[in-house]
Structure 1
Amino acid sequence: MLENHIFVLPIVLVIYLPVSFIITYAIAVKYNHVEPGFPYISDTGTSPPESCIFGQLLNIGALICSVVMYTRYKQIEKFYRESSRKKLMIANKVSFVLGLTACLGVSIVGNFQETNVLIVHLIGAFLAFGIGGIYCYIQAAMSFRMTDLPGNCLKLRIFRVVLCFLDLLLQIALFVSAEEAMSQETFQTNNLKWTADYPGYREHLVSTISEWLVALLTAIFVATFAGEFRKFRLKAPEVIYYDIQEESNKEMHISAPKFVYRDMHDESIKET
């Protein structure tokens, strides 16, 4: 069923990630591990039992995201395979590698809590937000080079640029305000319960709110692939079976990997 509804995955992701963060946030607040007023996303998944749930949910989210990015890579690769757009094909491969790297970062953030292995956690955060942002920027730029891709339109391209612009501003606000908050003399890296009377609280709020918005904007950007995914379906990969008992090389072809595009002007189907 998924081969005809591959466009559902980006939509699932944009719903799944915020819901995952809200679940761990609610648990952390319930057990009084964080203050209700906008903690960092990582703060809501640092202490048990929410840390276990946080890691598992982010692992699943990273897997869904990697499938979406692989599908995006194959969609562009198949549609422009016969063209001479070498730069576009290179950009597609580069963005795919960056996308998978960002997914790895999401998994690292979930499995290496900041209070346990801070350096590794920060590396994961950089991969998830920094490299993930670069992935979005490249995809937005590629959209303007793929105006003939089914499902791509001017409004979609402009919307992606707006998302990238906001993402960049928020990432700057995130890191600048976090640095300012950490410059306070009484700052403690393991303090998960910021209150209004705590030095650097205002800068801390700017940083945490920016982080939540960056995560949301990134998920929304990936969800914009849904419109283009509607124009094709992904068929099952080819499976070859060797009959070992008869020591023969008989092959049974189950199915062939194909991307099938639907013509936007009529109901005919073009296979690539």
Structure 2
Amino acid sequence: MSLYYNKFQAGSDFLVSEFPTKIEPKIKKKEAKSRLKKIRKELAHLQDVMYAHDKYSVLICIQGMDTSGKDSLIRRVFEKFNARGVVVHSFKVPTSKEYQHDYLWRHYIALPARGKFSVFNRTHYENVLVSRVHPHNLEEEHLPDIADTDNLPNDFWEKRFEQINNFEQHLVQNGTIILKYFLHISKDEQKSRILRRLNNEDKNWKFSPSDLSERKKWDEYMHYYEEAIRNTSKTSAPWYIVPADSKWVARYVVAKILLEVLAKRKDIKYPELPEKIADNIKSYKKELENE
């Protein structure tokens, strides 16, 4: 069996150019949908087991350029989950309240409880991606000893990578399983998707002129994605680079990796009944039947 979590995992030498935006050998849309349907059932069962097991939580982080398909992927992959066991957090521009705390605070308070899943649609990595392309965003953080965001200390971003690694390592050591996905689309595919938004009246609302201004910074974003992923893809909290030019294939790959990673945890199983209860199952059934 092909292990997707190995095939698509990024290492400390990650280069965007070396990872494809289309999967090979090619998987047709119909086949990807069929495979995803089967995996969703298995994931839903695993979710039920994990809830009963009550020792692990799962944090799923999804990053990608505009139009990479984050929202629709989340809807499709988690379609069969018990809604009470999974929470999706979409992190937009921080609010004034959030800016009054450190940049990780709003992510801390959104972490999953034991037995549950949290999905971060955009993540704490925005702070080493968007904030690098737009360093003036840091002015809102009111950081001590940072007087000029155009002239940050040489080790500023390295320290942020270290802080993020420490944050994630702390979570892992306390029972959180972390999977981080980069939805990797080509610049040409993004262009096609933006044009579809403009050409389809039902999709116009998704378009913002900032989509075009951010697109002009594509190379900057790719450079900073490389640096962030190289510095933070760890064995305990790896990055997976998902070919995302086909939305259905991307959904299948994300789901398959999640299933493989969770299936490795052989200790995740339904808890055994206390011996005293197990020994009296027949008598409990008889009591009810004789009512």
User: If the length of structure 1 is used for normalisation, what is the TM-score?
Assistant: 0.25
Structure in which a larger fraction of residues adopt strand = 2
